[in-house]
């Protein structure tokens, strides 16, 4: 596709605005919660897997097990995750999200999406209908792409 394609230009512009506004709210929340991107990445990883080991977290983040272990210690101290022995191998530590950790993730996601509520307030009912139809087309087409 050419860089002069008006659809592509508009789509890229919307994508940039969407990502900027979404990440701005999320990063502000992370800063206020004293969480690094690695910490947040770990919380999301645990949320999607329910449990993980130190090596798994390190592999996910692309860091050594020692670095992952130090970060995990900070998350344990904050009460966001718990570390326990694997019932099948006591040498292995299993890491899970606490209720507080789940709450932090939910609040972070809300902070990321709050601006959408403001945006919706700026749209008329016909505009909302038109955008909803276009989004449904995009969703269907995106699902067809690997």
Three-state SS for the chain is CCCCCHHHHHHHHHHHHHHHHHHHHHHHHHHHCCCCHHHHHHHHHHHHHCCECHHHHHHHHCCCHHHHHHHHHHHHHCCCEEEEEECCEEEEEEEEECHHHHHHHHHHHHHHHHHHHHHHHCCCHHHHHHHHHHHHHHHHHHHCCC
Tell me the average pLDDT across 41-51. 89
Asked if residue 19 is part of any domain, the answer here is: yes
The answer, yes or no, to whether residue 24 has pLDDT greater than 70, is yes
pTM for the model stands at: 0.72
State the pLDDT at residue 3. 56
Domain span at 91: 6-143
Is 1 within the bounds of a domain? no
CATH (domain of 35)? 1.10.10.10
pLDDT grade, residue 142 (50/70/90)? very high
The pLDDT score that the predictor gives to residue 81 is 95
User: Is 109 contained in some domain?
Assistant: yes
The number of folded domains in the chain is 1
87 is a domain residue: yes
Report pLDDT digits (tens) over 88-101: 777 777 899 999 99
Q: Is pLDDT at 49 greater than 90 in this prediction?
A: no
């Amino acid at each position: 596709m050419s860089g002069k394609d008006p659809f592509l230009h508009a789509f890229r512009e919307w994508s940039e605005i969407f990502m900027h506004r979404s990440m701005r709210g999320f990063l502000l929340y992370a800063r206020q919660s004293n969480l690094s991107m690695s910490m947040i990445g770990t919380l999301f990883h645990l949320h999607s897997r329910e449990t993980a080991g130190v090596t798994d977290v390190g592999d996910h983040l692309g860091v050594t097990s020692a670095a992952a272990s130090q970060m995990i210690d900070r998350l344990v101290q904050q009460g966001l995750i718990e570390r326990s022995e694997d019932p099948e191998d006591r040498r292995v530590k299993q890491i899970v999200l606490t209720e507080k950790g789940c709450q932090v993730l939910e609040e972070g996601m809300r902070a990321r999406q709050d601006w959408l509520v403001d945006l919706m307030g700026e749209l008329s009912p016909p505009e909302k209908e038109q955008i909803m139809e276009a989004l449904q087309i995009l969703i269907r087409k995106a699902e067809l792409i690997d």
